[in-house]
Structure 1
Amino acid sequence: NATWNWSFPGGNPSTSNLEDPIIVYNQAGTYNVSLTVTDQFGTSSQTLSNFIKYDDTTSAITSSTDYKQDFESIIFPPNAWQTPNSSFSWQSIIVDSGSNCLPNKVTYVDHYHISQRGDEAFLISNKVKLGNGPSAINYLTYDYSYSGFSSAHDDGFRIDISNDCGHSWDSIYGAFGADLATTSYQSSVWFPTCDSWQTDTINLSSLGYNNDTIMLRFVAINDYGNQFYLDNININGDNIVTNKNIENYSLWLYPNPSNGIFSVVSNYHNLDYEIYDLMGKSIKKGKLNENEKTINLKKENPGVYLAVFKISHTTITKKFTIY
């Protein structure tokens, strides 16, 4: 068996013994990579200069600056977006009737001609820095159009979010078949009509994403049905406070996940908090001080919750899981 010794100057981690490591670069730039492989035939080393080029394409959300992706560029996927290899993929197409009832370039998935049922195709956004503030609201909107083939072919659509540069993903939306369709079944290749487009909105702040740097992953789940079209992906912010007006507070909630007992570590001593379930129902509120830095939720059911901490004029939201 071979052994692998990687060196990634400037990366995190900077070394690895894995065959296919995942490395994160926090600063834009060009980086060298070195690899030494040892097996029963000996040792071989190679250094590739300027092998990794990282352009930081993070988009920042403010009260006056939104993020917009309309797929009108001649390049697909758009700059800094990704379409990882799979048995099928997202593509661009010009349709006669976009969401504005005019010809538009959109992205779509050709489920009609893809027979690999259950396979998924990813469309991954560039990084977006969400806005912050005590009453900040960051929300995602997008337009979509879909006609199924029949009730026996339930194509699906899911949206995932990551706040760790794509190392892990959480699902924030999903629908299949009739729950996804915007018009009636069509037994031939289908193209959107003016009245078949719908707009969906997802409040990212209510899910615990404020001031995070996120990536979005749009997932097409194939069931050999009919075409799915997507356009006008926007992230908007209301009541955003610029970073220079936000005091520098640090707060950690651990362990996460937990059996219901959580400790809070913060550089601020007096914390008001309120716990919500994902339906927005308040289930507990209280105050933490120097002598009391734990939250007991052992009576609550397993699941995902949000903890909202109020510190001076700042609100910090943390998502956590009880198992």
Structure 2
Amino acid sequence: MKKNILLGVMLCTSPLIYSQATFASSGGNTISDKGSLTFTVGQLVYTSSHNDNGSIAQGVQQAFEFQLLSNSDVSPKNFTLLTYPNPTSDNFVVKLSDTSYNKLEYTLFDIQGKQIKTGGITKRETSIAIQDVSNGVYFLKVTKDKQLLKSPKIIKK
């Protein structure tokens, strides 16, 4: 008899065990003229939907993918930029292929898009100190007249 009561209680309460599907650490919402979006950081499961206009994945246990889109008519064809050492612990050097590109500016962003540091690139090799920032992945945005030229990834360890 005790086994039957225990089994009945377990069967009745087992759906309640799965009622907590999210351990939310953060979240928010945003509204624009195109629609609205509500999000929660910390979901354990995600689903996705696809149609002709695009796709959406609901949930957060997915990899981040960053892509740099460019237009060959806008980007200079002979401009190359090298950052070294990468990964770094104290500072890194931005080396330009051509010194004719003057009045360049850089902005360093963290993985969340927060602006960390800005400055000018005036020489062929410019050293940027990052010993005061925490370890992680950063993005360096190099611009001329507010036009994006390059955006390399910098790793601080």
TM-score normalised to structure 1 length: 0.28
Q: CA 1:308–1:252 in 2, change beyond 3 Å: closer, same or farther? A: same
1:244 positional shift? 3.9
| Contiguous gaps of at least 5 residues in structure 1 | 1-149, 152-174, 183-191, 193-197, 212-239
Alignment correspondent of 1:264: 94
Alignment of 1:20-31 (within 5 A): none
Alignment correspondent of 2:75: 246
Kindly provide the CA deviation profile for residues 215-265 of structure 1, in whole angstroms up to 9, marking residues without a partner as x.
xxxxxxxxxxxxxxxxxxxxxxxxx52x24421210011110001310111
How many percent identity over aligned positions?
22
1:268 positional shift? 3.9
1:297 aligns to 2:130 (yes or no): yes
Alignment correspondent of 2:45: 180
Following the alignment from structure 2 to structure 1, what is the Cα–Cα distance between the partners of residues 94 and 111?
A: 21
Find the partner of 1:210 among 59, 68, 74. Answer: 68
* SS of match in other structure, 2:44: helix
Kindly provide the CA deviation profile for residues 130-164 of structure 1, in whole angstroms up to 9, marking residues without a partner as x.
xxxxxxxxxxxxxxxxxxxx96xxxxxxxxxxxxx
Instruction: Give the letter for the 1:286 counterpart.
Output: G
Alignment of 1:55-66 (within 5 A): none
Q: Which has the higher contact order (CA 8 A, sep 6+)?
A: 1
Q: How many residues align?
A: 105
**For the Cα contact (< 8 Å) 1:268–1:311, is it kept in 2?**
no
Instruction: Give the letter for the 1:280 counterpart.
Output: G
1:203 positional shift? 8.1
Find the partner of 1:283 among 81, 92, 116. Answer: 116
Instruction: Give the letter for the 2:116 counterpart.
Output: I
Instruction: Give the letter for the 2:90 counterpart.
Output: G
1:318 aligns to 2:148 (yes or no): no
Instruction: Give the letter for the 1:275 counterpart.
Output: L
Normalized per residue, which structure has more helix? 2
Q: CA 1:181–1:285 in 2, change beyond 3 Å: closer, same or farther? A: closer
**For the Cα contact (< 8 Å) 1:273–1:286, is it kept in 2?**
yes
TM-score normalised to structure 2 length: 0.54
Instruction: Give the letter for the 1:210 counterpart.
Output: L
Alignment correspondent of 1:200: 57
1:180 positional shift? 1.6
Following the alignment from structure 2 to structure 1, what is the Cα–Cα distance between the partners of residues 123 and 46?
A: 53
Kindly provide the CA deviation profile for residues 11-66 of structure 1, in whole angstroms up to 9, marking residues without a partner as x.
xxxxxxxxxxxxxxxxxxxxxxxxxxxxxxxxxxxxxxxxxxxxxxxxxxxxxxxx
**For the Cα contact (< 8 Å) 2:90–2:129, is it kept in 1?**
yes
**For the Cα contact (< 8 Å) 1:255–1:263, is it kept in 2?**
yes
1:301 positional shift? 0.5
| Contiguous gaps of at least 5 residues in structure 2 | 1-16, 19-40, 50-54
1:181 positional shift? 4.0
Kindly provide the CA deviation profile for residues 106-130 of structure 1, in whole angstroms up to 9, marking residues without a partner as x.
xxxxxxxxxxxxxxxxxxxxxxxxx
Following the alignment from structure 2 to structure 1, what is the Cα–Cα distance between the partners of residues 83 and 92?
A: 6
